[in-house]
C-alpha cells in the first residue's frame, strides 16, 4: 500500500516544527516531497497535506460518507453545541445546510448593504486623525455589529450592548477551553471553564429569550429580513421547523465561523492595499466615481489568495480511501492546504506578489482559489462575507485617506486557528470626508 512521503525527522521534531513554524515547514515539505505529503503530530493519526488542484477536486467531491469534516470539529462542541452544522456529517449535516443556505445566499445580501454602510460610518467617525490605530480592532467591531444586526436581527440597544460585551468573551474563552480540553474542569469564578460556562449561560439566556419573543409574534417575524427570522420560517424536507436549540447552535456557529474570519480578511486587505500605492490610487478613483468596481472585488480575492485566514479544510477518513496515487487508512486526516494552493507558481506567477489584476474580469479556478474551502462543506457564509467585505472596504476608501503606520509589511501571527497581521494592521487616517459627501447607494 503506497503511503504519502513524509519528512525524514523524528516525530517529536515534526510536531514541534508544525506547531511553531507551520507555514515555512509545510512550504519546505512541499518543495521536497511534492503536492501530497504527510506530517505526524505526536499522538494523532498522520495528517495528509494536499496542495494540488486536481487532488483538491478529488477530496472536495469525494463521497461525504468517506470523508468527514464534522467529526474533526468535535472539540468545538461546548461552544457551538451538538446541532451545529460544523459538527454534523452526512444526512444530518445536509439537513442543516439546506436550511441555512437560502438565507445566506448570493443576491439576498444586498438588502444588508445599508446597515453595513451605517455601521462602517459609525466606526469611521470614531477614528483619530493622524494617529496610528489597529484596523483589525476596528474591523472586529464592525463585523460583530454587522452579524448582530443582520444575522441575529438584534435591534434593541441594551441587548446589542450586552451581546457586544459577552460574545467576544464567549468566543475567546471558548477557543482556549476547546483547544485545551484539560481546562474543562472546575467551575469556580476564576477558572477559564467557570468563566466560559457563565458567559455561555448569559449569551444563551439572551438568545433563547429573543427566539421566544419572535415565536410569539410570528406575523412580525415573517416580515423581518434578518437571517434568524428566515431560519425560523424555514422547513426541512419533512416540513419540520428548526428547534430553539438548533437555532441557538447555528447562531453561535455563524458567529464563530463568520466574525473573526471576515474581520481578519478585511484587516489583511488594508495591510496589503496600503503598501501598494498604485492599487490604492486606482481603487480610490473607481469608488469615487461611484461605479461598480471589479477592482474592489479583485483586491479582496487577491488578499484571500495570499492571506487566507484559515490554513486548512480538514476531512477525517471514515473508511480507507485512495487520494491520487496513495491509499490512506481510515482514521487519517486530510488537510487541504488553502495557503499552499494559493501560492502555486503554475497558477499564480510570482505567487508572493500581491496583484489584484490577476483577478480582474477573471473568475478564479474552482479548485485553484479555495479560501472558502469546497464541496459539500464549502463556507456557507462566502457570499455574505464577500458582500460585507466589498461594502466595508468601499466605504472606508470612499471616506478616508489612509496610509500604513509603518512601511514594513506585517508578519503573520497565529491566533488559535487563524493567521492575523502581527501588529494588528496599524494604519493612519490623514483625512476623513463627511459621511454625506460621495455617498454612493450601490
Question: Which residues of the shown chain bind ligand HEM in the complex (CB under 6 A)?
Answer: 69, 85-86, 97, 104, 151, 253-254, 257-258, 261-262, 265, 309-310, 313, 371-374, 377-381, 384-385
Look at strands 333-337 and 47-50 and give their pairing: parallel
Minimum CB separation of residue 67 from ligand HEM in Å reads: 10
CA distance linking residue 329 with residue 314, whole number of Å: 16
Count the alpha carbons within 13 Å of 90 in the hemisphere toward its beta carbon.
6
Nearer Cβ to ligand HEM (259/276): 259
- The smaller minimum CB distance to ligand HEM, of residues 360 and 417, is found at 417
CB of 131 to ligand HEM, least distance (A): 28
Minimum CB distance to ligand HEM smaller for 179 or for 417: 417
CB of 183 to ligand HEM, least distance (A): 25
Would you say 215 or 378 has its CB closer to ligand HEM? 378
* CB contact at 8 A, 335 and 313: yes
Owner of C-alpha cell 486606482: 282
Which residue lies nearer to ligand HEM by CB, 47 or 380? 380
Which C-beta is closer to ligand HEM: that of 124 or that of 313? Answer: 313
C-beta of 385: minimal distance to ligand HEM in Å?
Answer: 4
Q: How far is the CB of 375 from ligand HEM (least distance, A)?
A: 6
Crossing angle of helices 294-306 and 244-273, rounded to 10°: 100
CA distance from start to end of the chain:
57
- Name every residue whose Cβ is closer than 8 Å to that of residue 356 and which is 6 or more positions away in sequence: 279, 295, 298, 299, 301, 302
Question: b/e string for 212-247 if b means 16 or more Cβ within 10 A?
Answer: eebeeeeeebeebebbbbbbbebeeeeeeebeeebb
In which residue are the cell numbers 462542541 written?
77
Burial letters 28-57, b for 16+ CB under 10 A, else e = ebbeebebbbbbbbeeebbbbbbbbbebbb
If the CB atoms of residues 40 and 84 are measured against ligand HEM, the closer one turns out to be 84
Tell me how far, at minimum, the Cβ of 151 lies from ligand HEM, in Å: 6
Smallest separation (angstroms) from ligand HEM to the CB of 202:
22
Amino acid at each position: 500500500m503506497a503511503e504519502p512521503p513524509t519528512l525524514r525527522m523524528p516525530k517529536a521534531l515534526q510536531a514541534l516544527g508544525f506547531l511553531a513554524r507551520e507555514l515555512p515547514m509545510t512550504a519546505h515539505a512541499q518543495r521536497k516531497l511534492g503536492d501530497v505529503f504527510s506530517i505526524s503530530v505526536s499522538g494523532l493519526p498522520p495528517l495528509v497535506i494536499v496542495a494540488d488542484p486536481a487532488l483538491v477536486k478529488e477530496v472536495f467531491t469525494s463521497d461525504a460518507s468517506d470523508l468527514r469534516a464534522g467529526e474533526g470539529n468535535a472539540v468545538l462542541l461546548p461552544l457551538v453545541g451538538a446541532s451545529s452544522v460544523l459538527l454534523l456529517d452526512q444526512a444530518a449535516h445536509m439537513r442543516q445546510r439546506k436550511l441555512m443556505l437560502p438565507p445566506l445566499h448570493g443576491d439576498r445580501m444586498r438588502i444588508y448593504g445599508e446597515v453595513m454602510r451605517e455601521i462602517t460610518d459609525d466606526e469611521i467617525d470614531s477614528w483619530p486623525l493622524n494617529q496610528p490605530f489597529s484596523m483589525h480592532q476596528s474591523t472586529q467591531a464592525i463585523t460583530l455589529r454587522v452579524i448582530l444586526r443582520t444575522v441575529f436581527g438584534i435591534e434593541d440597544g441594551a441587548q446589542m450592548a450586552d451581546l457586544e460585551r459577552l460574545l467576544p468573551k464567549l468566543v475567546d474563552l471558548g477557543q482556549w477551553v476547546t483547544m485545551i480540553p484539560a481546562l474543562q474542569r472546575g467551575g469556580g469564578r476564576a477558572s477559564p471553564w467557570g468563566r466560559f460556562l457563565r458567559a455561555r449561560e448569559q449569551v444563551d439566556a439572551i438568545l433563547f429569550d429573543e427566539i421566544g419573543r419572535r415565536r410569539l409574534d410570528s406575523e412580525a417575524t415573517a416580515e423581518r429580513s434578518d437571517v434568524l427570522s428566515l431560519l425560523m420560517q424555514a422547513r426541512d424536507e419533512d416540513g419540520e421547523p428548526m428547534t430553539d436549540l438548533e437555532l441557538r447552535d447555528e447562531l453561535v456557529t455563524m458567529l464563530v465561523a463568520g466574525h473573526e474570519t471576515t474581520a481578519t480578511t478585511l484587516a489583511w486587505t488594508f495591510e496589503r492595499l496600503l503598501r501598494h500605492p498604485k492599487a490604492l490610487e486606482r481603487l480610490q478613483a473607481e469608488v469615487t466615481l461611484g461605479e461598480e468596481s471589479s477592482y474592489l472585488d479583485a483586491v479582496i480575492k487577491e488578499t484571500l489568495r495570499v492571506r487566507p485566514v484559515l490554513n486548512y479544510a480538514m476531512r477525517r477518513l471514515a473508511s480507507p480511501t485512495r487520494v491520487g496515487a496513495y491509499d490512506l487508512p481510515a482514521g487519517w486526516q486530510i488537510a487541504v492546504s488553502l495557503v499552499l494552493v494559493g501560492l502555486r507558481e503554475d497558477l499564480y506567477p510570482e505567487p508572493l506578489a500581491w496583484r489584484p489584476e490577476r483577478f480582474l474580469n477573471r473568475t478564479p479556478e474552482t479548485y485553484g482559489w479555495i479560501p472558502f474551502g469546497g464541496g459539500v462543506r464549502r463556507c456557507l457564509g462566502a457570499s455574505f462575507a464577500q458582500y460585507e467585505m466589498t461594502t466595508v472596504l468601499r466605504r472606508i476608501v470612499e471616506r478616508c485617506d489612509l496610509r500604513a503606520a509603518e512601511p514594513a509589511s506585517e508578519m503573520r501571527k497565529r491566533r488559535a486557528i487563524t493567521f492575523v497581521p502581527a501588529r494588528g494592521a496599524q494604519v493612519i487616517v490623514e483625512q476623513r470626508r463627511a459621511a454625506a459627501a460621495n455617498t454612493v447607494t450601490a
